[in-house]
Amino acid sequence: MSAGVKRAMSDQESQQPAAEQSNEARAERGHRDRDRGRRRHRPLPKHLEASINMDELRELIGLITDNALTDFELQREGFHVKVGRNLYSSQPPVAPVLPPETHAIQATTQNAVKSVPHTTPPHPGAQAEEAASEDQGLHLITSPIVGTFYRAPSPNADSFVRIGSHVESETVVCVIEAMKLMNEIQAEASGEVVKIYVENGQAVEFGQPLFGIRQG
Amino acid sequence: MSNGQRRFRKILVANRGEIACRIIWTCKEMGIGTVAVHSDVDRDSLHVRFADESVCIGPAPSAQSYLNIPAIISAAEIFNVDAIHPGYGFLAESAYFAEICEACNIKFIGPRPNIIQLMGEKVAARNAMKAAGVPILPGSEGAIESPEEAAKIAKEIGYPVIVKASGGGGGRGMRVVHSESELAHALETASTEAAAAFKNGDVYIERYVERPRHIEIQVLADEYGDCAYLGERECSIQRRHQKLLEEAPAPVMTPELRQQMGETAIAACKSIGYSSAGTFEFLLDEDGRFYFMEMNTRIQVEHPVTEMITLTDIVRNQIRIAEGDPLGFAQDDVLMVGHAIECRINAENPETFAPSPGKITAFNLPGGPGVRVDTYVYPEYRVPPFYDSLIAKVIVHARTRELAIARMRRALEAMVVEGIKTTIPLHLKIMNDHNFQAGNISTRFLDDFLATNGNRGNSKASAALTEAAA
């Protein structure tokens, strides 16, 4: 791997077209460059000098994984890195967009989680959690129990709330049935219902987002 | 399919950690679907990843998640499971939970609720065992009323006896008495100490065993009254009544004693109408006499050592029995091959035993011949601080005890867990201990071992405990 990486670097550095160099000279320089590349201060191409180096990048990825951050983005002149880690692992980690010499890091990050299945098995909250994670600034009403979600007190009755309904903290927003008992769920916030994340009759788990409220 | 039998399509595992994984592995082998329940902090736990379906049932605290009966039953109904396997700990010995499962038409994989209830109450269990002819540790029936009564009882039991507080344990309110002349004084001081510690000065008397061994018998019983025992386990190496290390067979066991203890356990099972897997815990004294201590009506942490030497799958047997299958084998069919040892690896400081939760940064599991590891952790996994500290069980199996010890030493040396502290170094020290190697084990082993091995953090505490218990 490192040989491939160093080869790309030495190609960039070389101003002469490859045909003008003898095979031996090229192999020798490539070998030399590889050795030089192992030291910290290797000559970076000019346009990358102001940007991040390998050690900084490793430290950054370490900080991101240690703190279980979901997304991180950094932009500097001539350089842009985006590292993503989906909390619910329904997708593999977003591939970092990095200059060539950092391919080694990308490979090790993926290898570290390869031994455990990436995908969490289907659980009631998966889709709703993804949808809810996109709604910044909304107050989420989440399910306090495991059960079946119903929007109305009985099959033919009107829904407790709909999009646009105003709620206060004691407004009943739905019923969750657990073990044949109907549990009325209160909003515990005041504002306007702008999102409904679950469908009537859907199984819900603890912590699953049900409604998004714009508070006020 | 014959009457009373039905195959489970789906089982909900009402547990977490290594035992949840263990149950899932067998379910997969049997083609049974699995549902994992988990708290919100356990979302990335291994049992959740490998189950066919999963559902979050509550926040981190066990009372609101793994002990939350409505949440678990609700999950079982939503996923339309046929049965629940409770594992060990949590709700495994909750007669109430077993009853609710029955009421909701979900098969609880374990004995009937009334049996769980019976064996869960110390006094009731002792009486049931007495009635079944199981030897129990001789002692006074209740609190001692007078020094005269004490002397009479002590004479019946035979010295040495131990005076113990009715209201609590932990070494307080305990005095060992070697002869009648010491008895009155011991009663007084024990009672005073007990009153100070537990606000209850009541004491009782029991036969005192200097260096007891904790030997337990594994039983399997079907729902038609047929039972068998799968040999014994030696579990004397304990710290504060928590087992650290177990082995099968017990080094001190003879075929005659095994048969005696096993047949006693079987008679007890039949007497109370036991079904599913269970364990009878006995205290073995230095003269080879055994006494009933308690019965665990569930699968136990240390079940793998029995599985290794008998070539059985206890979880599989539990499931088949719950499905209504007959036991399927006779006592004579039980194999016992070689020797197995299990080390419980805890996320703890190996010297101070302080818990060490956190992220596992480097991880390597031992493998190779005769090594089994039951675990739920993996590289980069964050061990949560909310639950017990067991992260892995390393089990080895070899032809002889000597080979098993060498194998365990090799396996522990190859096990790498970085980022958190573990008790691996302690287990290695035990493997190298000449008393352990010679099989000189009793329930005092670990306290003596820690005291002599200069465990700085623990020597004061263990010395105080030893003194109080003496």
Whole-number Å distance between alpha carbons of B54 and B62: 17
Q: Report, as residue numbers or ranges, the catalytic residues of B.
A: 298
DSSP letters of B397-459? EESSHHHHHHHHHHHHHH-EEESS--SHHHHHHHHT-HHHHHT---TTHHHHHHHHTT-HHHH
Confidence of residue A170 (pLDDT cuts 50, 70, 90): very high
For an interface test with B, the pick among A67, A146, A175 (most B C-beta atoms closer than 10 Å) comes out as: A146
Is B48 an 8 Å CB contact of chain A?
yes
Reduce the DSSP state of residue B77 to 3 states and report it.
Answer: helix
Whole-number Å distance between alpha carbons of B278 and A52: 61
Mean pLDDT of A145-151: 97
Structural Rg of chain A based on CA atoms: 27
Task: Dump pLDDT digits (tens) for A78-111.
Answer: 666 666 554 343 434 444 444 444 333 333 333 3
Q: Which residue has the tokens 């623990």?
A: B458
Mean pLDDT of B318-340: 97
Determine, for residues B56 and A66 on separate chains, whether the beta-carbon distance falls below 8 Å.
Answer: no
Size of interface A-B (CB pairs under 8 A): 76
Give the per-residue pLDDT at A65: 67
Is B103 an 8 Å CB contact of chain A?
no
Q: Which residue has the tokens 């989440």?
A: A142
Confidence of residue A30 (pLDDT cuts 50, 70, 90): very low
Give the per-residue pLDDT at A79: 63
Is B62 an 8 Å CB contact of chain A?
no
Determine, for residues B48 and A112 on separate chains, whether the beta-carbon distance falls below 8 Å.
Answer: no
- Give the residue on A whose Cα is nearest the Cα of B39: A206
Give the per-residue pLDDT at A57: 72
Is B433 an 8 Å CB contact of chain A?
no
Confidence of residue B206 (pLDDT cuts 50, 70, 90): confident
Give the per-residue pLDDT at A103: 36
Reduce the DSSP state of residue B276 to 3 states and report it.
Answer: strand
Whole-number Å distance between alpha carbons of B246 and B429: 15
Q: Tell which residue, B7, B5, B12, B19, has the closest CA to residue B315.
A: B19
Give the per-residue pLDDT at A23: 53
CA distance A118 to chain B (A): 8
> How far, CA to CA in Å, does A134 sit from each of A53, A83, A210, B91?
32, 17, 14, 38
Q: Tell which residue, B383, B388, B364, has the closest CA to residue B44.
A: B383
| H or E segment to which residue A54 belongs | helix A54-66
Range list of β-strands (E), B111-241? 161-165, 175-177, 203-207, 213-221, 227-239
A4 vs B462, higher pLDDT: B462
CA distance B186 to chain A (A): 54
Whole-number Å distance between alpha carbons of B207 and B164: 11
The total of other beta-carbon atoms located within 10 Å of residue B355's CB is 16
DSSP letter for B56, please: E
Task: Dump pLDDT digits (tens) for B63-89.
Answer: 999 999 999 999 999 999 999 999 999
- Give the residue on B whose Cα is nearest the Cα of A202: B78
Give the per-residue pLDDT at B38: 98
User: What pTM was computed for the model?
Assistant: 0.77
Confidence of residue A72 (pLDDT cuts 50, 70, 90): low
Of B55, B59, B379, the CB nearest to A146: B55
Q: Tell which residue, B306, B303, B297, B227, has the closest CA to residue B269.
A: B227
Whole-number Å distance between alpha carbons of A153 and B160: 70
Q: Mean pLDDT, chain B, as a whole number?
A: 93
Whole-number Å distance between alpha carbons of B344 and B245: 6
Is B380 an 8 Å CB contact of chain A?
yes
Q: Report chain B residues whose CB lies below 8 A from the CB of A66.
A: 359
**Amino acid in position A153:** P
Q: Report chain A residues whose CB lies below 8 A from the CB of B360.
A: none
Task: Dump pLDDT digits (tens) for B230-288.
Answer: 999 999 999 988 999 999 999 999 999 999 999 999 999 999 999 999 999 999 999 99
Mean pLDDT of B175-199: 91
Task: Dump pLDDT digits (tens) for B119-168.
Answer: 988 778 888 999 999 999 888 877 888 999 999 999 999 899 999 887 76
DSSP letter for A96, please: P
Reduce the DSSP state of residue B193 to 3 states and report it.
Answer: helix
Question: Over 70: is that where the pLDDT of B300 sits?
Answer: yes
Give the per-residue pLDDT at A58: 73
Q: Tell me if B396 sits within 8 A of B408, measured CB to CB.
A: yes
